[in-house]
Chains A and B, each alone.
Chain A
Amino acid sequence: MGSAPAASTAIVLENRQVGPGCYRMRLENEYIARCAVPGQFVHVRIPGPPLDPLLRRPFSVCQVEPSHGAFLILYQVVGRGTRMLSTLRPGDKLDVLGPLGRGFEMLRVGGGGNEGSVGNNSRESEGGNGIGSVGSGSGTVKVALVAGGLGIAPLIMLSHAIFRSGVGFVFVVGARSGELLAGLDLIPRASCGNALLSGCPANPEPASPGIVQGAHLPPSGCDMATGYTGPCCEVQVVTEDGSVGRRGLVTDALRDVLAGGDIACAYACGPAGMLREVARLGEAFHVPVQVSLEARMACGLGACLGCAVKAREAATRSGRAGYLRVCADGPVFWAEEVDLDGIG
């Protein structure tokens, strides 16, 4: 299951509001920065009056900086716990347990650039151990990443790992409105054909107004003019009110991406309704889908059985009947393993 979780102290380096109720917190914790794999989470004890709120809060690791011993989380203020988090300042300390859970299964790129193990339902490679199995075939294999709201958090870390492995991606990012788009600037910017990125030699279109700061910067490493041949990293932005990017639902854009073919796997994180639709589209287009789920959680370690999600037949076949634990069997599952109708 990857690195053993450890309860340790993390120091707040930065806690910045990046949208209405949306925050980005950068934390110093060498162990998590070194050990977390994409899709894993940290279980954060809320500092406040003693034991109130009682339980830890889980947050996906959004980005790691191993050289700085730091990592990022994104969060939205939705209750007392996150409200308290939002008041923390640089230098404050947090009790953080992690890294926890099973991460995303990475697309393996073999010598022929084929799909490798994706979609075979084998969960043999735990905690994202598949990462880094890279061959040739750069630029030909592509995956889709689908984020709804702050569901973008685990996918950002995943997008970096995918990029490093030489696989291209189309990152479809959705939110209710443009101001709720958080973390766009954290996506690898070695992009061609990116409608958002003005200054990209591959795409001279100006950026839409209202993009979070940083997203309009010329992408590092993107140099189509001089013959950039790395994997394509395309970002598509969709908002329900049309304030930024395409107007509509993130799943509308995903449907077009999948219809275009050549997508080997889709990774999704966001609201329950979005995940159900992504799973449906995956089935329709025969694209395997991995979803990152959230659930009310107590121990975070797999012991209390509180964060149950009903298993579907695909999981039962591998001997995991009944209920699965979001914290330990997930938070990332193949869509066909879990009953998505029962979540949210």
Chain B
Amino acid sequence: MASADLAVTIGAIKMKNPVMAASGTFGFGREFDRVFDISALGAIVTKGITLKPRAGNPPPRLWETPCGLLNSVGLQNPGVAAFIRDEAPRLAAYGVPVIVNISGDSLAEFCELASCLEDAPGVDGLEVNVSCPNIHAGGRPFASDPESVYRVTAAVRRVTGKTLIVKLSPNVAGIAGTAQAAEMGGADAVSCVNTYLGIAIDSERIRPVFSRVFAGLSGPAIKPLALRAVWEAASAVRIPVVGIGGICSPQDAIEFLLAGASAVAIGTGNFISPVACLEVVEGIRSYLEERGIRAATDLVGLAKGHAGHAAGSHSDEACVYEPKERKAKDDFATGKGRSHGGEQ
């Protein structure tokens, strides 16, 4: 048979395959480019960028758990100006779509970041990290309630013409609500999920391992949880979902596509095998060709056809979020959307 078509489209970004390198695990491509030809990727999502340079958190920053990894890196990055000057031109030369992950602590900061990147060469899209704390909301993360997600998405949408992806936090009561908030705010896609908040305790020293106590859990340990989040988000929105969470193998990636993701991103998997992204691309290709499936897009959400009513489906899922400005009532339609994640 003809070779399978792996191409997918996220917003205005045409990817030659559905596999991205996830933010924070791939730097700015420099390190992995020494190991393999990263132009084979579908897209690169950069390390999170902030307006000003950030030194990051004091060590320890890592803690291995059974099949998982807790991290507390603290957004160490050179700041947006240095990124545009030192990294963007080189990233552009790889010939792979570049999505810049941005983090801010206020709407104004997100907008300034997006404006700075609007004319930067080689930047194809933005991934908004709404998991960072909002200083105007007592440090509660933007991601923790749909209203904040809507506001930050809408604000960034007003200043960027680039593909806009909102990276959702799983540390909420219902991800369907924040996914819909992003969609209504004008996002082209949502990526889910960011890390799950966890804690490691050092029983020898009788104290938390991390200076900030909470850290983000990633890796295979979170895969079933992330699959559920992708399933729910994809059921709640019409925009594409980028599935993230413990993907290490082609099999993992295919499961995410079948659960409703239009593309996937590989994070912690890059640490296990630096060529994990390549292996996943080739594995998806083989899966399609062995089964005579024409295109990767044909896999998206395919598992849902076999789900019972309880698990939800595209058409009958109720709207769980409506922006305040569009309605008279102060509360959310179902109440499911609101939560207090307690993220720091």
Residues of A within 8 A of B (CB): 1, 4-7, 45, 51-56, 95, 97, 295-310, 321-323, 328, 342-343
Classify the interface of chain B: helix, strand, loop or mixed: loop
Contact of B64 (CB < 8 Å), options: A53, A301, A304: A53
CB-CB nearest 10 A-B residue pairs? A303-B27, A322-B55, A306-B62, A301-B31, A303-B31, A298-B271, A4-B34, A302-B31, A299-B271, A296-B62
* Given A51-B248, A54-B220: A305 and B271 interface contact (C-beta under 8 Å): no
Q: CA separation between A1 and B34, bound complex, in Å?
A: 10
**Are the CB atoms of A303 and B270 closer together than 8 Å?**
yes
Q: A301-B274, A305-B61 are in contact. List 16 more A-B contacts (CB 8 A).
A: A4-B34, A6-B35, A7-B273, A7-B274, A45-B273, A51-B248, A97-B35, A296-B62, A296-B64, A299-B25, A299-B270, A301-B31, A301-B34, A305-B56, A305-B73, A306-B73
**Given B27, B58, B220, B273, which contacts A302 in the complex, CB threshold below 8 Å?**
B27
Q: Are A299 and B67 in contact (CB under 8 A)?
A: no
Q: Can you list 23 A-B pairs, Cβ within 8 angstroms, ordered by A? A: A5-B274, A45-B272, A45-B273, A51-B67, A51-B220, A51-B272, A54-B65, A54-B268, A55-B69, A55-B272, A56-B271, A298-B69, A301-B34, A301-B35, A301-B274, A302-B27, A302-B31, A303-B270, A304-B25, A304-B71, A305-B47, A306-B71, A308-B61
Chain A proximity of B18: nearest CB distance (Å): 21
Question: Which listed residue, B59, B67, B275, touches A309 by the CB 8 Å rule?
Answer: B59
Q: Is B332 an interface residue (CB 8 A)?
A: no
List the A residue with the shortest CB-CB distance to B26.
Answer: A303
Q: What residues on B are CB-neighbors of A51 within 8 Å?
A: 67, 219-220, 248, 272
> What bracket does the count of chain B residues touching chain A fall in?
35 or more
Task: Please name the residue on chain B nearest to A321 by beta carbon.
Answer: B55
The docked-state distance in angstroms from the alpha carbon of A295 to that of B64 is 13
| Contact across chains for B71 and A54 when beta carbons are under 8 A apart | no
Closest approach, in angstroms, between the C-beta of B266 and any C-beta of chain A?
12
Tell me the complex Cα distance, A52–B69, Å.
Answer: 11
A199 to B55 CA separation, bound complex (whole angstroms)? 56
> For residue A7, which residues in chain B have a CB less than 8 angstroms away from its CB?
35, 273-275
Residue pair B73, A304 in contact (C-beta under 8 Å) = yes
Given A4-B35, A7-B35, residue A296 in contact with residue B63 (CB < 8 A): yes
Contact between chains at A308 and B59 (CB < 8 Å): yes
Query: Is there an interface contact between B220 and A303, defined as CB atoms closer than 8 Å?
Result: no
Contacts of B292 in A (CB 8 A): none
Least distance between A183 CB and chain B CB atoms (Å): 27
Q: Please indicate the chain A residues that have their CB under 8 angstroms from the CB of B25 in the complex.
A: 299, 303-304
Minimum CB–CB distance for A102 against chain B, Å:
13
Which residues 9-63 in B have Cβ within 8 Å of A in the complex? 24-27, 30-32, 34-35, 47, 53, 55-63
Q: Chain A's nearest CB lies how many Å from the CB of B73?
A: 5
Which residues in A have their C-beta under 8 angstroms from that of B163?
A: none
> Which residues on A sit within 8 Å (CB–CB) of B312?
none
Among B24, B60, B68, the residue within 8 A (CB) of A304 is B24
Q: Tell me if A54 and B272 are in contact (CB < 8 A).
A: yes
Q: In the complex, which residues of chain B have a beta carbon less than 8 angstroms from the beta carbon of A308?
A: 56-59, 61, 73, 76
**B308 at interface, CB cutoff 8 A:** no
Chain B contacts for A5, CB-based, 8 A: 34-35, 274
- Do the beta carbons of B56 and A56 come within 8 Å of each other? no
**Which of chain B's residues 140-176 have a Cβ closer than 8 Å to chain A?**
none
The residue on B at minimum CB distance from A303 is B27
Shortest beta-carbon distance from B231 to chain A in Å = 22
Q: Which residues of B contact A309 (CB under 8 A)?
A: 59
B324 CB, min distance to chain A CBs, angstroms: 38
Interface-centre pick from A45, A305, A343 (highest chain B CB count, 10 A): A305
A343: which B residues are within 8 A, CB to CB?
A: 59
Please indicate the chain B residues that have their CB under 8 angstroms from the CB of A306 in the complex.
Answer: 61-62, 71, 73
Given that A301-B274, A304-B24, A306-B71 are known contacts, is A323 also in contact with B56, CB under 8 Å in the complex? yes
Which of the listed residues A53, A297, A303 has the most CB atoms from chain B within 10 Å of its own CB?
A: A303
| Complex Cα spacing A6 to B58, Å | 30
Which of chain B's residues have a CB closer than 8 A to the CB of A297? 62
Q: Which chain A residues border B47 with CB–CB below 8 Å? A: 303, 305
Decide if B66 touches A97 in the complex (CB within 8 Å): no
Interface hits, B58-112 → A, CB 8 Å:
58-69, 71, 73, 76
Residue of A nearest to B273 (CB): A7
Find the residue from A4, A51, A55 having the highest chain B CB count within 10 A.
A51
Task: Find chain A residues with CB under 8 A from B31 CB.
Answer: 299, 301-303, 328
- For the complex, give the distance between the alpha carbons of A303 and B266 in Å: 14
A275 to chain B, nearest CB (A): 15
The CA of A117 and the CA of B72, in the complex, are separated in Å by: 38
Rounded to whole angstroms, the CA-CA distance of A158 and B57 in the bound complex is 33
B246 CB to closest chain A CB (Å) equals: 9
What is the chain B residue whose CB lies nearest that of A57? B64
Cα distance A298–B63 in the bound complex, in angstroms:
9
Closest residue of chain A to B209 (Cβ to Cβ) is A296
CB < 8 Å: which of A53, A55, A323, A328 contacts B76?
A: A323
* Most A CB within 10 A of own CB, among B67, B248, B268, B274: B274
Question: A54 CA to B248 CA in the complex, in Å?
Answer: 11
Question: What distance in Å separates the Cβ of B90 from its nearest Cβ neighbour in chain A?
Answer: 14
A310 surroundings in chain B (CB, below 8 A): 58-59
- Which of A6, A303, A321 makes the CB contact (< 8 A) with B32? A303
CB neighbours of B268 from chain A (8 A):
54, 298
> What is the bound-complex CA distance between A321 and B339, given in angstroms?
38
Give A295 to B62 CA distance when docked, in angstroms.
Answer: 9
Tell me whether B27 and A54 are in contact (CB under 8 A): no
- Which of A53, A56, A308, A321 neighbours the largest number of chain B CB atoms within 10 Å of its CB? A308
Q: With A and B bound together, what is the CA distance between A45 and B269 in angstroms?
A: 12
CB distance A304 to B35 under 8 Å? no
Q: What residues of chain B lie closer than 8 Å to A4, measured between beta carbons?
A: 34-35
Residues of B contacting A342 in the complex (Cβ-Cβ under 8 angstroms): 58-59
Cα–Cα, bound, A97→B66 (Å): 22
What CA separation (Å) do A305 and B71 show in the bound complex? 10
Task: Kindly report which residue of chain A lies nearest to residue B246, judged by CB atoms.
Answer: A51
Find the B residue at minimum CB distance from A6.
Answer: B35
**Cβ-neighbour of B59 out of A55, A295, A321, A328 (below 8 A):** A295
